[in-house]
Amino acid sequence: MNTRDLIAGVRRNLLLVILLAVLGTGSGLGIGLLQAEEYKTTTTLFVSIAQGSQSSIDQRYQGTLFTQERVRSYAALVTTPTVTKPVIKALQLPLKPEELAQRLEVDVPVDTVLLNITARYGDGGTVAKIANAVTARLVEVVAELESPDRTQLSGIRVKVVRDAAVPEQPSSPRIILDIVLGLVLGLVGGVGAGILREALDTRIHTAADLVRFSKQPVLAIVPKDPGAQATPLVGDRFGPRAEAYRKLRTALRFVGIDRPAKVFMITSPLTGDGKSTTAVNLAGALAAEGAQVVLVEVDLRRPALAQMLGLVGEAGLTSVLTGRADLADVAQFTTGTQRITVLTSGPLPPDPSELLGTQRMRDLLQRLAQGFDYVILDAPPLLPVTDAAVLVPEVDGTILVTRAKKTRRDELHEALTILETARGRVVGAVFNCGTAPTADRYGPYVRDTAPPQRNAPQPQVRDIPQSLRSTDQNRASLAGKRGPRRSDLPVNEDRVVPPARD
């Protein structure tokens, strides 16, 4: 994970960072308000050794070193009961000796003979009395220890050089400092949590992530639309989703320059990535420019095209492959300006992968490629079943549909490995429910402001090509050695043309 990934992770988890920053600020404010006022003051003592006027410089230096050693010992005496008990008794403090010791701080500056004693208490006048009383008592204790028999003067001199002053302002709480400290800690915690969450989150968030982890071009970024699940077909031809599918259509034009590519399979790593929606709208975008398009549902486990398009799903691909019906009998059409020939799944077989891998399936794809400009296959996902992998060598290109914040890196890698193992050609990827880059946020460039024309002529769409209609030769090749062409297939003799779906 580089610096750019860290910054991107923090941006994606900006709400978490802000939340922790607010919590840190609130905690700092709460701690500051809950703290009781406390005052602090300090006294300073100077420790020296008594020396005669005839002392040499070497003796003075040795005396200074001796005094520095003594100062550290005196610092330890400040918090002992020998010092604290008399102070409590003299000032009548409501404290125990160990409690007073906790309110005393002793500091010995390096390479000096100074001793700083700091006292903390809830009242400014009392804290000054405590500091001065502790200092005076320490001087007495030092004198007693250095001259125990009191017959001669002590060789150590302890002198107060700064008395404790009454503080005017409390030393704590410092609410502003607490707030700033809480804010900083909250920001640091939020950034750390965002980086950790980004490191543990293996989902594909952006199209740049998809390119980096798949090494495949992104053919289209389909923006997220909350109403796409209810109405998977794009209605607004000037909307961002429609433009994304037009980009996908344009990208397919550059596939197979030497040999025209006509058969494309739409698949995804897992279910719920939007492969069926992509297949339907891609077929619609191709048909919108006048191409003859057939949409074949090869997902024989969880078919969805019949429900999405309002078609009949009881007869379809499996009926043709098993010789129970002709292609012309089960092919259906969508109504409207974008008319598409649709071959639904038909009755679900017990062995979909074996049925899709038959020679009849390969012959059917060849016949469809000869009769239509484009053949779009809505295939099952790659990871749960092997159905799509069986068809990979038979198509001109495979389009892998991924979903933002759902598809994971390992799932993407495994799906690409399956396609590579099957020696299939991956045209590119579609990033579904993604965020369009800044360049795509210009909005609709053109609006259809022309008034609707009454009795406008409907576009002329060719019927099923004659080469795909039922003939004696085609029927014999479809039936093979299985005997009669039809059994008890519940299909009407008339072609099913469903009503237009709103």
pLDDT at 346: 92
The residue-averaged pLDDT of 197-216 equals 86
The residue-averaged pLDDT of 295-321 equals 92
**pLDDT tens figures, 365-397:** 999 999 999 999 999 999 999 999 999 999 999
Greatest mean pLDDT among 144-158, 181-195, 216-230 lies in: 181-195
Greatest mean pLDDT among 203-207, 372-376, 475-479 lies in: 372-376
User: Can you name the residues that pair with 342 across neighbouring β-strands?
Assistant: 295, 332
**pLDDT tens figures, 322-341:** 999 999 999 999 877 678 99
**pLDDT tens figures, 119-145:** 999 888 999 999 999 999 999 888 888
β-pairing, 426-434 vs 397-403, is: parallel
Give the least confident one: 1-5, 18-22, 355-359, 433-437.
1-5
pLDDT band at 169 (very low <50, low <70, confident <90, very high): confident
Show Cβ contacts of residue 236 under 8 Å, excluding neighbours closer than 6 positions: 242
Please say if the pLDDT value at position 488 is more than 80. Answer: no
The residue-averaged pLDDT of 170-177 equals 85
Angle at 39 between CA 108 and CA 33, to 5 degrees: 125
pLDDT band at 258 (very low <50, low <70, confident <90, very high): low
**pLDDT tens figures, 220-230:** 999 887 766 65
- Record the pTM: 0.64
Taking the CA atoms of 309, 314, 276 and 464 in sequence, report the sign of the dihedral they define: negative
Greatest mean pLDDT among 55-64, 65-74, 122-131, 468-477 lies in: 122-131
Give the least confident one: 1-10, 122-131, 468-477.
468-477
Say how far apart CA 489 and CA 370 lie, in whole Å.
27
Kind and range of the H or E element at 285? helix 275-288
pLDDT at 113: 86
pLDDT at 458: 41
Angle at 440 between CA 377 and CA 235, to 5 degrees: 50
CB 296, CB 378: distance < 8 Å? yes
Q: In degrees rounded to 5, what are phi and psi of residue 234?
A: -70, 125
**pLDDT tens figures, 97-119:** 999 999 999 999 988 889 999 99
**What is the per-residue DSSP string for 219-263?**
EEEEE--TTTTT--S---TTSHHHHHHHHHHHHHHTS-SSS---E
